Amino acid sequence: MSYYIGNESVYPTRDPLIKRLRRRIAEFIDGSKWPKPPPEGETTVTGLSEGTLDGLANPFYRISTTRKELYSDVREMDATVDEVATALDMLADNAVASESGGKEPFAIAYVGTVAKWKKDMIAGVIERTRYGEKAYEIARGALRDGDDFRQYVIDENFNIVRLMYMPPESMVRNEDQYGLLKMGTAPGEWAYEQVDPVSERLIAGFKPYEIQHLRWNRAGSNAYGRSLISTARTSWRKLQSMEEALVINWITRAFARLLFMLDVTGKTPKEAQAAIREFMANLQTRRIAKDVQGVEQLSIVKDICIGRSYHEIGGKAQEGLTDVKVLDTSSTGYMNLAAIDYYRSKILMSLRTPRAYLGLEEDVNAKATLVQEDRRYAKFIMKVQGLITEGIRQTIDLQLALQGVDPTKVQYIVVWPSQGWTDLVEDSEALLNYAKADEILLRMKVIDREYIGTRQMGLSSVEFDAMEDRIAQAPPPPEVEE
C-alpha cells in the first residue's frame, strides 16, 4: 500500500503522521516537487484500487486514542465477544470472591490496640457503602475501562453513606504540572469535573476527597488508567470482520446452486432469452388455488439458466438436450479457521486469562505448564485485589478524617483470601500433613508458633500479630465436667 504525502489542499488526509511529515518536509522542500498521484483507475498488484485498500485498512490501523472512543470500543467488545465477557467475569469474580459465599470478600485486620468505637466506625462505613457487594463491579469496570469513578455521598453527620457510580466518559481529572490534583473551584481548576460527553458542558466540579478514582495499569504520567483490553482493539476489529465474512459465506453458500442448460435450437437470441425467462418463471410458479398463483423459490440463492442449441459439425447436428447440474459452491478458503484462532489468541493474551480456564485449551496435559499458568494467574489476581484495597483504604481513611480521627494513627490492613487455584482436597490433605509435622517439631522446640503461621500458613507478620491478639483476648473455653 502506498501513501502520497502531497499537498494538504490537493490530497487531504486525516492521518496525523502524514500531516506531521508534510509540515516537517515543507520546511526544506518546495511544495511543487511533491510526487504526482497515480493515474486515475490505476490498481495495485491485488487488483483492487488504492482507495479500496485504504478503505479496508483504515478501521484497523487508525484506532482512535481518545478516551470516549476507547470506552465505546471496550464496552462493545464486552457486549459482543464471548471470550472478553467471560474473562472479565472470571477475573473480577476470582479477585473478590468471598470465602464460603459470604457477603464480605475481605476482612479488616488491626495492628496493635484499636478502640472499639473506631472499629465500629470502620465497619459502619464498609456496611453503608456496601463495599463488599460493589467490589465485583468496581473490579470489573476498572479492568474493562481502565478507570472507575465513584462519588462519596456524605450526610449532615459527616458520614459516608453511599458510593455513587460516575460514568468514566463524563469525568475529567485535572492535574498540575507536577501530577498533583488541582485544588481550585473554577472550571478547569477543580480536581475532578463531570461534563456532558456530547456537548462537553460542565455539569459539576469536585474536590479531591469527593471522588474515588481507581486507575488500572496507569502508565507513567498519564492521568488516567489503561483498559486491560485496550491493546486488543485492532485484533478485535479484524476478528469481527473475518467472522462476519465467514457467516455471510456460510449462509449464502449453504445450499447448492442449480445450473439449467436449455435447448434453444433454431431460436434467435431474443427468442432464446424470452424462452429462458419463461422457463424460470414457470419453474418458480405453483398453483395455490383456482386462478391463484404463487412464487416458489427453489433455493435461497439465485440459480443460473443458460441456453444451449444444436451445433452442426461434419454435416451432423450434435445433441442439444436441456440439462441441469449442481454447482459446487464450497470454498476451502472460508473453511480455514487458522486466522480466526490467531486473532482470538491475541485478544485472550491481553486478558491475562489462561485458555484452559475458558474451556478453549486443547492440550492441557503438561502439568508443569498448568502449574505455571496457575501461579501467574494468581499473581495477577493479587494485583487486582491490590487495586480494590486502594479504594477501600481511601474510603476508610476519609471516614476517619471526617470524624476527626487521624487515619495515620489507626493501623489496619485489608485481608483477602489466599489464591492457590489448586484442588481443595489436595490442599486439605497437605495442610493436615503439615499440621502433624508441625506438632511434632513444636514439641521438639525446633520451630515456634510464628514460624508455623508465617511459613506454613502464609500469614504476614501483621496478620500473625493480629491473630495472636485475638487469641489472647478470647475468653477461656468452658470447663467440661467428666
Residue ranges covered by each domain of the chain:
1-56, 67-233, 257-326, 367-473
Contact 35, 6 (CB under 8 A): yes
Confidence of residue 62 (pLDDT cuts 50, 70, 90): low
Sort 240 into a burial class: Cβ within 10 Å, 0-12 / 13-18 / 19+.
Answer: middle
| pTM of the full structure | 0.62
Cα distance between residue 50 and residue 55, in whole Å: 9
pLDDT for res 28: 45
Contact 19, 11 (CB under 8 A): no
Average pLDDT for residues 128-139, to the nearest whole number?
92
pLDDT for res 375: 74
Contact 170, 197 (CB under 8 A): yes
With a cut of 70, say whether residue 11 has pLDDT above it: no
CA angle (454, 455, 458) in 5-degree steps? 60
Contact 132, 192 (CB under 8 A): no
Which stretch, 68-77, 116-125, 244-253, has highest mean pLDDT? 116-125
pLDDT for res 282: 72
How many angstroms separate the Cα of 417 from the Cα of each of 75, 223, 324, 431, 463? Answer: 29, 31, 71, 16, 12
pLDDT for res 26: 55
With a cut of 80, say whether residue 174 has pLDDT above it: yes
Q: Which residues contact 254 (CB under 8 A, 6 or more apart)?
A: 300
Instruction: Give me the DSSP letters along 212-249.
Output: EEEESS--TT-SS---TTGGGHHHHHHHHHHHHHHHHH
| 3-class DSSP string for 349-374 | HHHCCCHHHHCCCCCCCCHHHHHHHH
Contact 206, 324 (CB under 8 A): no
Rg, C-alpha atoms of the chain: 35
With a cut of 70, say whether residue 47 has pLDDT above it: no
The three three-digit cell numbers of residue 91, written as one number = 477475573
pLDDT cut 90: percent of the chain above it: 22
pLDDT for res 195: 93
Q: Tell me which of 162-171, 355-364, 370-379 is least confident.
A: 355-364
Sort 238 into a burial class: Cβ within 10 Å, 0-12 / 13-18 / 19+.
Answer: middle
Which stretch, 71-85, 147-161, 294-308, 428-442, has highest mean pLDDT? 147-161
Which stretch, 4-13, 67-76, 361-370, 384-393, has highest mean pLDDT? 384-393
Distance of CA 60 to the CA centre of its chain: 17
pLDDT tens digits along 349-364 = 777 676 666 655 555 5
pLDDT for res 31: 42
With a cut of 60, say whether residue 258 has pLDDT above it: yes
Contact 340, 243 (CB under 8 A): yes
Q: Tell me which of 140-144, 167-171, 310-314, 405-409 is least confident.
A: 310-314
pLDDT for res 454: 80
Confidence of residue 3 (pLDDT cuts 50, 70, 90): very low
**β-bridge mates for residue 308, sequence order:** 263
Q: Which residues contact 289 (CB under 8 A, 6 or more apart)?
A: none
DSSP 8-state class, residue 453: I
> What type of residue is 431?
L
